[in-house]
């Protein structure tokens, strides 16, 4: 069965993932992962971009790019991705 991606929108879900999840730090992006058995063969993905990125137009563009990247990567690597997971991707300012 194919995995489905859905967007996390509730602040309470973001906070739960931050408090209970695993943190992976990268050069340009931080990812927080929480394995959630309540999800049925789906992966929840949330996107955040702070005001350090720029104005609302730049932040929204960054989130659109992250959304598209997540969609493409999930199609390419369906066997490697674990279902029953929530992810939060946070874009960092390039220095």
Distance of CA 88 to the CA centre of its chain: 3
**For residues 91 and 20, what is the distance between their CA atoms, to the nearest angstrom?**
20
Q: Is 92 helix (H, G, I), strand (E, B) or coil?
A: coil
Q: Do 85 and 33 contact (CB within 8 A), yes or no?
A: yes
pLDDT score, position 95: 44
For residue 5, what pLDDT is reported? 79
> What is this structure's pTM?
0.74
pLDDT of residue 71: 82
Q: How far is residue 47's CA from residue 67's CA, in Å, rounded to a whole number?
A: 8
Model pLDDT, residue 2 = 58
* 29, 85 contact by CB (below 8 A): no
Per-residue confidence in pLDDT tens, the chain, 95 aa: 457 778 888 999 889 888 998 888 888 888 888 887 776 777 888 888 888 888 999 999 988 988 888 888 777 765 555 656 777 777 776 54
Task: Give dist(CA 95, CA 87) in Å, integer.
Answer: 24
């Amino acid at each position: 069965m194919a995995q489905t991606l859905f967007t996390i929108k509730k602040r309470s879900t973001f906070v739960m993932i931050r408090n209970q999840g695993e943190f992976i730090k990268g050069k340009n992006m931080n990812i927080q992962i929480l394995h959630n058995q309540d999800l049925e063969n789906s992966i929840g993905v949330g996107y955040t971009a702070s005001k350090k990125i720029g104005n609302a137009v730049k932040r929204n563009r960054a989130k659109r790019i992250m959304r598209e990247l997540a969609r493409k990567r999930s199609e390419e690597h369906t066997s490697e991705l674990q279902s029953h997971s929530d992810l939060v991707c946070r874009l960092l300012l390039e220095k």
